[in-house]
Amino acid sequence: MSAASGKRLGKILVQSGLITIEQLDEALALPDASSLTSALDELGYADSTRVAQTVADQMGLVYIDLNSYEIDPNAATSLSSELAHRYTVLPVKIQDDELVVAMSDPANIFAIDDLRIVTGFEIRPVVAAENDLLSAINRFAASQQDMAGMVGDIEDSVSAGAEEVEEEDIEDDSAPVAKLLNNIVTEGIRQGAGDIYIEPFETEMRVRYRVDGVCLEVFRNPKRMHRQLISRLKIQGNMDISERRLPQDGRFGVVLDGAGVDFRVAVLPIVNGELAVLRLLRKDSIQISLPDLGFLDGNLDRFREALHLPYGAILVTGPSGSGKTTTLYAAIGEVNDPKINLITVEDPVEYRLNGLGQVQVNERAGLTFAAALRSILRQDPDTVMIGEIRDKETGTIAIEAALTGHLVLSTLHTNDAASAITRLTEMGIEPFLTASAITAVVAQRLGRRLCTACKEQYVPDEVALDRIGFPYEKGKPPKLYRPKGCRKCNNIGYKGRMGLFEVLVMSEAIERMTVDNASADDIKRQAISEGMRTLREDGFRKVLDGITSIEEVLRVVA
């Protein structure tokens, strides 16, 4: 151990009363100890956690427990493992242009100066137990070494071999390419990604995660490893690895930390190679309830009232990726019961559920939405869920099913609830059928939730509020919240997502307007007069409740 470091730390511990001067001298004289902390632990005078907590208290610093602390991988890998081991330090996050570094000896000013020069950041020290620090340093060093080894092995095999990939190497679970893909997948799960993108460019390959609806770049590597990675992915997804000219779809599943995650894979040939997108389907997400989705009380009551009718059509609308399928599954969770017969027809079947029949559309084999629906209606269902109404034939059968005593749940791609009614007319479905069959339309978007650990309160400018039509009492602007950034949200300011909703209930007035071919704008105005809250108004309510920010609502709602 360094004599200067041990004496410096020992002085703090003696002044605090944790150890005596005699115990310090005995620990410093211990010949085999690597540090004062390990010597005190070996002698039974104080463990590393107690030492770290005492040092933090004496120096007025923050103590962190690395066993439960969420370390930012980008920060942790910003320092070489050699330097981390030399000073027993580990960067844990980047915040406000500062590098937060966990240290066992924060009084070591030489270490802090070196870290400032090497990283280019101002250093903010925090204190962690030495044993925990060493474990974390070794873990990240091993992770870096594994990733570097995987990339290096793949590059070597590609440069040494022919253009064609050896299939037996790709199929080997211990091969570097298999380990790299596993690393990409497991890290995506742990970071809460909804999609993983593996993208080829002219000279390099990029991997990105979509977290809470926003894409984050994970790493870039030479392009020559891309073909092997895509071939391995195709094997995982039961696709044809020899076919590189046509799009392919596949599926596979993994279990991580006791939770099952399904991956839906789409491979698309583009100019520089094959673009692969992995959609993560977490099995626990289908257990979410309607209130958990973000429905406020008024909208929730209107939706549930329509949902518990024995017949009628309920449509969920919005753009791709707005959470329509999740809302449908949450609705199914409300109505699913052993006493009823519930059947779904989907393309693809994203979540496989117990207690109901699920039909996978297969257009090549002739099993379209319309064909499946005709057969389903001969199975005497009480409730039918249709993944999407795409054409007149599917829409007509769905509407007729709703008119003949079935509860029908489906989705449609429109920007708001009122447009769903006119869209069906545009498809060629008779307006009088639509007016009689539809009971409710739910339009939705997905917005990010403010991180509860770091969101900050502020008073907005009244001119800005007036410009966007935010509701408030003149002269009394409300106190709102905005994102700041902390370790829990990876310095983004948002953590998780919730829905923004508008729920249109089919009233007699709207039925008459539908039959008369009224415009979507006229229907929307009538629905608002009857109490419908628009997407933007629902978002503003969530802003007032401190759930999200004005900027996020304006980002997702026009």
pLDDT in tens, 75-93: 777 777 788 888 888 988 8
Beta bridge partners of 100: 93, 124
Whether 172 and 228 have beta carbons less than 8 Å apart is answered as no
Type of residue found at 245: R
* pLDDT of the residue at 11: 83
pLDDT beyond 80 at 463? yes
How sure is the predictor about 284, in pLDDT bands with cuts at 50, 70 and 90? low
pTM, 2 dp:
0.65
72-79: Cβ within 8 A, 24+ apart: 72/487, 72/490, 72/491, 73/140, 73/143, 73/187, 75/99, 75/100, 76/136, 76/140, 77/140, 77/143, 77/144, 78/119, 79/115, 79/118, 79/119
Q: Three-class SS of residue 207?
A: strand
Give how far Cα 176 sits from Cα of 125, 149, 183, Å: 37, 8, 10
Residue 28 has pLDDT above 90, yes or no: no
Rounded to a whole number of angstroms, the distance between the first and last alpha carbons of the chain is: 62
Count of CB atoms within 10 A of residue 21's CB?
10
Confidence band (pLDDT; 50, 70, 90) for 179?
confident
Residue 409 has pLDDT above 90, yes or no: yes
- How many CB atoms lie under 10 A from the CB of residue 276? 23
The overall average pLDDT reported for the chain is 84
Alpha helices in 369-481 (DSSP H): 369-377, 392-403, 417-427, 431-437, 462-468
User: Nearest CA to 280 among 197, 354, 206?
Assistant: 197
Question: Averaged over 279-299, what is the pLDDT?
Answer: 81
pLDDT digits (tens, 9 = 90+) for 107-134: 888 888 888 888 888 899 999 988 888 8
Share of the chain above pLDDT 90, in %: 32
What is the rounded distance in angstroms from the CA atom of residue 554 to the CA atom of residue 536? 8
Distance between CA atoms of residues 249 and 234, nearest Å: 9
* Mean pLDDT in residue range 397-420: 92
Q: Please report which confidence band the pLDDT of residue 470 belongs to, taking 50, 70 and 90 as the band edges.
A: very high
For residue 282, which of 303, 301, 263, 266 has the smallest C-alpha distance? 263
The yes-or-no verdict on residue 72 having pLDDT over 80 is no
Rounded to an integer, what distance in angstroms lies between the CA atom of residue 188 and that of residue 493?
Answer: 19
